[in-house]
Amino acid sequence: MKYYIIAGEASGDLHGSNLIKALKKKDADAQIRCWGGDLMENAGGQLAKHYKEMAFMGFFEVLANLPSIFQNIRFCKEDIQEFNPDVIIFIDFSGFNLRIAEWVKQKGFKTNYYISPQVWASRSSRIKKIKRDIDQMYVILPFEKEFYAKHGYDVKFVGHPLLDAIATAELPDESSFRSKNGLHSKKPIIALLPGSRKQEVAKMLSVMLSVQKNFEDYQFVIAGAPSLDDDFYAPFLKNENVGFVSGQTYALLHNAHAALVTSGTATLETALFNVPQVVCYKGNWVSYQIAKRIITLDYISLVNLIMDKEVVKELIQDDLTTKNLHAELEKILDEPKRQKILDDYEILRKKLGGIGASERTASLIVENA
């Protein structure tokens, strides 16, 4: 069969690559064309558009890039018609994917959605469009199945694909990791995960690194995003106690003692590596003011959302200051607080359903095609 997959971010590229591998195991004749990144291409997908061309964050940034977005929508529709797939699979990236889903459903294509839009966070009215345009939804967070059921929509909980990605990752020991990346100090590592888009990375790193001088007994290491060139990080690497790795986030977390993490999928990845963390977020002022008025959640990190309580501290917008970050980092470096976080991480892991999300999703897609 012919499969058309649309992912628009680095996390979607990761999960899409594992899904492609699983689809190829289930369907030896699978032809796969995709929007994604290097991982999906390396897994065997024919790349139509790289996510680096689509990574716009926040309401203001999206508005400023509307011409590019509309051009991408036009190209996507034309490309789908030319490829004429048996199945279309959307991965997260709701602003773009739900637009395409409405159009392809009208054209009679079979539609699947893997990794639900966060309709439980804001704009729940989108559920009507999802029910209309998506034949089957595969969700990865345990509370999503119940949420959709309340709205009369039956979805499949397949488990979280991060468990697969982490279980299959090749991870170096500490000595190898330090040697490869020129981290000659033996100081414990504090990982900095500042996000994946230029506007957020610059903003987050400035405040994350503002506490470094108060923690000289630790080595700070920045995780470079695959969507950004290494040169972009050069201005943040002037202190010899600040290291940098590119494309090695899992290796970094595997060897980290604590982490400062921008809200998003990275908060869950950090938890699954058993690294105590402080969650940080500071967005464009206009975007934040809009988001604050439409998002109805008590928390912004996946860790706290899944656990339905504050497991990790969230410093959001005006609360993200050097003083507050210093205080919270000190707390997670102390043993009593660390152990409480690690105990909660163990419960979190059990809630996520075990490994095999990609295999389960691929099986359901092939069976229902």
Are residue 268 and residue 186 in the same domain, yes or no? yes
Highest mean pLDDT out of 6-15, 216-225, 275-284: 216-225
DSSP string for 116-160: ---TTTS-TTHHHHHHHH-SEEEE-SHHHHHHHHHTT---EE---
| Residue with the two structure tokens 């024919």 | 46
Q: Residue 366 pLDDT more than 90? A: yes
Are residue 129 and residue 233 in the same domain, yes or no? no
Q: Residue 369 pLDDT more than 60? A: yes
Are residue 323 and residue 313 in the same domain, yes or no? yes
Are residue 328 and residue 258 in the same domain, yes or no? yes
Per-residue confidence (pLDDT) for residue 176, from 0 to 100: 95
- CA–CA–CA angle 184, 190, 193 (5° rounding): 115
Are residue 8 and residue 126 in the same domain, yes or no? yes
Are residue 198 and residue 279 in the same domain, yes or no? yes
Are residue 222 and residue 277 in the same domain, yes or no? yes
Structure tokens at 7: 């992912």
Per-residue confidence (pLDDT) for residue 10, from 0 to 100: 83
Per-residue confidence (pLDDT) for residue 218, from 0 to 100: 96
Q: Residue 4 pLDDT more than 80? A: yes
Could you tell me the residue range of the domain that residue 150 belongs to?
2-160+353-368
- d(CA 16, CA 40) in angstroms, rounded, equals 6
Q: Which of 358, 362, 360, 361 is nearest to 163 (CA)?
A: 358
Are residue 273 and residue 358 in the same domain, yes or no? no
Confidence of residue 284 (pLDDT cuts 50, 70, 90): low
pLDDT tens digits, one per residue of 220-243? 999 998 878 999 999 999 898 999
pLDDT tens digits, one per residue of 114-135? 999 988 877 778 999 999 999 9
**Averaged pLDDT, 234-262:** 95
Q: What is the mean pLDDT of the chain?
A: 91
Per-residue confidence (pLDDT) for residue 188, from 0 to 100: 96
Number of domains into which the chain is organized: 2
Question: What is the CATH classification number for the domain harbouring 88?
Answer: 3.40.50.2000
Are residue 151 and residue 209 in the same domain, yes or no? no
CA dihedral 112, 168, 222, 114 (to 10 degrees): 10
Are residue 134 and residue 221 in the same domain, yes or no? no
pLDDT tens digits, one per residue of 106-116? 999 999 999 99
Q: Residue 282 pLDDT more than 90? A: no
Of residues 277 and 353, which shows the higher confidence score? 277
Are residue 190 and residue 331 in the same domain, yes or no? yes
Per-residue confidence (pLDDT) for residue 64, from 0 to 100: 60
% of the chain with per-residue pLDDT over 90: 75
**Averaged pLDDT, 280-299:** 63
- d(CA 52, CA 197) in angstroms, rounded, equals 9
Per-residue confidence (pLDDT) for residue 293, from 0 to 100: 46
Are residue 144 and residue 187 in the same domain, yes or no? no
pLDDT tens digits, one per residue of 305-326? 999 999 999 999 999 999 999 9
pLDDT tens digits, one per residue of 168-213? 899 999 999 999 999 988 899 999 999 988 888 999 999 999 999 9
